Amino acid sequence: GFLHFHGVVLLEILQGVTLGGDKEASETSNETNTVQGLIQRDDSSLEKEIGERRGNRRGDFALSDVFYFSKKGIESIVEDEVTQRFSSEELVSWNLLTRTNNNFHYISLRLTILWGVGVIVRYGILLPLRVSLAAIGLSWLVIGTTVVGFIPNCWLKDWLSELVHVMCYRICARGLSATIHYHNRENKPKKGGICVANHTSPIDVVILANDGGYAMVGQVHGGLMGVVQRAMVRACPHIWFERAEMKDRHLVTQRLRDHVNDKKKLPILIFPEGTCINNTSVMMFKKGSFEIGGTIYPVAIKYDPQFGDAFWNSAKYNMVSYLLRMMTSWAIVCNVWYLPPMTQKEGEDAVQFANRVKSAIAQQGGLVDLSWDGGLKRAKVKDTFKQEQQKKYSCMVVGDDSSE
């Protein structure tokens, strides 16, 4: 009640202030506040570019063949589709948070003062408020779920458990000044299903769980997280894996399958990208989640970068710094779209199914649909991609028309 009102008021104030600040920063503010591409990339294929000069000579090498690869290489150095996804989205006009001023905007005196006021408000007023809310939320979760755990298994327990969980997540959401707009709630994930969503931050869990109960999937942690995890499991079944168990794919799939097949259990929440992406694109969905069977309920989450950058850049910030950043942003504003449920079609393998779901989510959320693996954040790209290109080129040099 009161918390909701407080959230709304805050949002209105901030909207007014930041838009005022924006006018200072840029006269030409377009519809979307995000930066467009730097170069024009024409997606000309190898076949077209090099094939062009063949004429009637089938198969040959020419000294100019290096031009194609040079151009593509330089284009990717100036701007590539992948590395930009692992750092925060750039904004055209500044939103008064130092952290987003990456483009070296000229900062006038007036803006600086506004920014200073902003800092005082954010760190002095908002932060303590939010931290206490988060603390209340978490303790409530632990205490509440433990208490519910004493009740014998019955419908009352399930109902209370969901109540406790959702309440806690609502308090946590207030703790982040999160304003969430849910769309198409008729498609909300049902029991015995699998909810898949694009992943931007650990906060995604709070965002989704605000609207209903989910069974969480994840690794067992120590410390505070571990306490929370053990408490949650007392109230209703969640799926926590030991580190060693996670390496065994069959074990993981089987446990998930068992959970899904029990139609009384809450839908499980999975993020198939496997890592946090910056909310401008959806990267490769790992096929594991799509091999379990059952109905997939896709969900698209899109944060509004104007009020705060929700992306967790785990290379740059640890969890605590990240939460601090979150709690000193203006607000977290996001849209959640529930998409119609999908099931695997006849003759469709897990990878194709995964791609189909990914495209649906990307389209709804207005995100770029990429096939690149989110794991490229840390790992090197596989050699097979280079070998594919080499093979294609070799076919052209040899003049083999039967190339696939």
Query: Binding segment for other proteins among 123-131, 135-143, 227-235, 380-388 (CB under 8 A)?
Result: 380-388
What is the helix (H) or strand (E) element at residue 252, kind and residue range? helix 249-261
Q: How far apart are CA 158 and CA 262, in angstroms?
A: 14
For other proteins, which is the closer residue by CB, 116 or 124? Answer: 116
Cβ atoms of 52 and 94 closer than 8 Å: no
Least distance to other proteins from the beta carbon of 105, Å?
9
Among residues 7, 17, 72, 151, the one that binds other proteins under rule CB under 8 A:
72
Cβ atoms of 230 and 281 closer than 8 Å: no
Least distance to other proteins from the beta carbon of 307, Å?
22
Among residues 24, 81, 304, 369, the one that binds other proteins under rule CB under 8 A:
81
Regarding 394 and contact with other proteins (CB under 8 A), the answer is: yes
Regarding 368 and contact with other proteins (CB under 8 A), the answer is: no
Least distance to other proteins from the beta carbon of 369, Å?
16
- Residues numbered 307 to 336 that lie near other proteins (CB under 8 A) are none
Q: How far is CA 192 from CA 260, 295, 396, in A?
A: 5, 8, 51
- Residues numbered 83 to 142 that lie near other proteins (CB under 8 A) are 83-84, 87, 90, 102-104
Q: Diameter of the chain by CA atoms?
A: 82
Regarding 79 and contact with other proteins (CB under 8 A), the answer is: yes
**How many residues of this chain bind other proteins (CB under 8 A)?**
52
Closest CA to 197 of 326, 292, 289: 289
Least distance to other proteins from the beta carbon of 111, Å?
16
Query: Which strands make up the sheet holding 178-183, listed edge to edge?
Result: 178-183, 332-338, 296-303, 194-197, 268-270, 215-219, 239-241
Phi, psi of 267 (to 5 degrees): -65, 140
Tokens of 195: 């909810």
- Residues numbered 24 to 53 that lie near other proteins (CB under 8 A) are 36-40, 49, 53
For other proteins, which is the closer residue by CB, 24 or 90? Answer: 90
Least distance to other proteins from the beta carbon of 327, Å?
25
Lookup result for tokens 């006038």: 108
Q: How far apart are CA 154 and CA 280, in angstroms?
A: 43
Q: Where do contacts with other proteins occur on this chain (CB under 8 A)?
A: 36-40, 49, 53, 60-84, 87, 90, 102-104, 372, 376, 380-381, 385-387, 389-391, 393-395, 397-398
